Amino acid sequence: MAAQHCPASPGAEAGGKILITGMAGFIGYHLAKQLAQRGYELIGLDNLNDYYEVNLKYGRLEDLGIPRPQGRQKIPSSRYPNLCFAALDICDGEGIQKLFQGEQASPRPIEQVVHLAAQAGVRYSITHPQAYIAGNIQGFLNILEAVRAYPVRHLVYASSSSVYGLNRHIPFAETDKADQPASLYAASKRANELMAHSYAHLYGIPSTGLRFFTVYGPWGRPDMAPFLFTRAILQGRPIEVFNYGKMSRDFTYIGDIVEGIIRVMGHIPQAGGDLRAVPARLYNIGHGSPVELLDFIAALEAELGITAVKNMLPMQNGDVPSTWADCRALERDTGYRPQTDIRTGVKALVAWYREFYGIRA
């Protein structure tokens, strides 16, 4: 069953814009498309780096009606008159400040920021640590400084289930400690949460961090298992199955994730008494029901009609055996209830992959 949509109105009350960083990314693209279709005015940013195949990022932009950027100027969408895009790196602090200054002086200023731009990937953080300090620490600081100088009603930002690290208590709950990261990527995301909390305390910036759990679906990331497995199986190559298959993940379909983000955008933290004195919140956003890795692979095999050749390997550095989201807080506060089962989600992923890469069934 597909996700049910709610009549959320993020940022619409005063007619302001929504800024999405990382709009050419997996989640950013889907969020931008859904909000554009609902009529919200959007501006998107992305640096279009080559961490994974750039043509996939260009493909997402093209689907949004954005031609390949030739410079840093804003490009209007040919498909959605309420959407424009700028090729801008969040590490460019001066550029980010100028963008906010210009937008906040306009008749329709930015009201909400959804910050999704980041250097992703657990494994990549082991070999390229500097990229995570630049993108995830300095880049996030640049966004915080921009919303401090040019206040917005709400900052929503991407965290990760990776922050739970070596925590053995499952399902993972927001009240669990997150002080034993298993990778620099996880450490950088936990740092984002602490940075956002400090700015909420010091400057009253309402902020909500979302701990994403293994997002998959059409237009997904090539460095993540669902995409990697699909590609390898179709190409007749073995798939790498770590920890000898003794792993589980809280696989969450992209449509459910986007609906959850939109619900959170309409739920702005307020300063209050006791523990809620600071207008900062954290939520898990997952499916809430982990799937064994071998069962996910079996669903892919069934949809593809091909049996995978499995290369069984030990656990990788920085990885954890299982993830499982306790989403009760998000459901309580926003009504979030993911609806998409693995079979439905895998079917959509495979159908998109075949179409995008021109592979016949």
Flag the least confident range among 258-262, 273-277, 303-307.
Answer: 273-277
Query: Which amino acid type is present at position 336?
Result: Y
Q: What is the CATH number of the domain that holds 92?
A: 3.40.50.720
Q: Is a pLDDT exceeding 90 seen at residue 7? A: no
Domain assignment present for 242: no
pLDDT the model gives residue 2: 37
Whether 120 and 51 have beta carbons less than 8 Å apart is answered as yes
- Of residues 32 and 69, which shows the higher confidence score? 32
Domain membership of residue 27 (yes or no) is yes
Residue 205 lies in a domain: yes
Q: Do the domain assignments include residue 356?
A: no
Strands 17-21 and 252-253: unpaired
Q: Is 164 a residue of the active site?
A: no
Q: What is the pLDDT of residues 267-290, one digit of tens each?
A: 999 987 555 689 999 999 999 999
Q: Tens digits of per-residue pLDDT, 74-123?
A: 999 999 999 999 999 999 999 999 999 999 998 899 999 999 999 999 88
* pTM, rounded to two decimals: 0.94
Residue 55 lies in a domain: yes
User: Given this model, what pLDDT does residue 10 score?
Assistant: 56
pLDDT in tens, 139-150: 999 999 999 999
Digit-coded pLDDT (tens) for 322-350? 899 999 999 999 999 999 999 999 999 99
- Domain region containing 91: 17-213+253-288+325-339
Q: Of these residues, 40, 51, 132, 185, which one is catalytic? A: 185
pLDDT above 80: residue 4: no
The total number of structural domains in the chain stands at: 1
Q: What is the pLDDT of residue 320?
A: 85
Please check whether residue 105 lies inside any domain of the structure.
yes
Question: Mean of the per-residue pLDDT values for the chain?
Answer: 93
The verdict on residue 297 lying in a domain is no
Q: Is the omega angle on the peptide bond into residue 109 within 30 degrees of 0, that is, cis?
A: no
Q: What is the pLDDT of residue 273?
A: 57
Evaluate whether residue 230 is within a structural domain: no
